[in-house]
Structure 1
């Protein structure tokens, strides 16, 4: 975990890295007025995937506090299989930053395509919604 929280993949990778946290199918109900998949839908899938990773690392409930350096690289189309891959890049006292990347597999394609990525910061919270220290292995 040596990357800085503001580091986002500068050059698109050719294969997903990190842990697969979500895989779903982009459906017609998820489109914008142009018929492409709505960016907000994709962002929500990424936030859910990042939250899964954050809760796993923190071993507690987490909440999203910021999204940094979001980069939409390619559109997502109806019928694309969307995979969200995550890895923690920073763990602090009560917060952690997760790099989240969304990849698609299009019909008739053999390789995944990176469509967007960004850094999501989460805070570990207790049952009353108050921040608490991230549980460290040890």
Structure 2
């Protein structure tokens, strides 16, 4: 397993309703979990509202299985004037052996929003 970056921001266990015809968890389910975790980190950095504007370099490594405990790690990767890119790594704890399995990784970009839902500069930091 490659080095995981950042802190655990979110843990979740997919439900039966999240499974596809192949017996794996829908990719959209994990994208949603990643967006939630990335949004939490971006909100802290922006000190206010943010919106997802891009998903970069997404890579699915291994299918997510029913029963996996999914941990989402996130950290700031780079910062612009109004946006911040968050590196997100997702790992499953799987089976009785509690094996750690890399699931996916990607970079999500969020823009800070003002009261009118328009981009605003990030706070100095």
TM-score category, normalised to shorter length: over 0.9
TM-score by length of 1: 0.86
- After the TM superposition, which parts of structure 1 deviate over 3 Å for at least 4 consecutive aligned residues? none
| Unmatched tracts of structure 1, length 5 or more | 1-11
**Which of 13, 37, 42 does residue 54 from structure 1 map onto?**
42
Matched, 1:134 2:101: no
Q: Secondary structure at the match of 1:76?
A: coil
The count of corresponding residues between Structure 1 and Structure 2 is 125
The Cα of 1:20 is off from its aligned counterpart by 1.0
| Unmatched tracts of structure 2, length 5 or more | none
Structure 1, 104-113 or 120-129: larger mean CA deviation: 104-113
**Which of 58, 75, 79 does residue 87 from structure 1 map onto?**
75
Residue 71 of structure 1 is matched in structure 2 by 59
**Which of 77, 98, 105 does residue 117 from structure 1 map onto?**
105
Q: Secondary structure at the match of 2:50?
A: strand
TM-score by length of 2: 0.94
The Cα of 1:94 is off from its aligned counterpart by 0.2
Structure with more of its chain in strand, by fraction:
2
Matched, 1:100 2:88: yes
**Aligned-pair Cα RMSD in Å:** 1.2
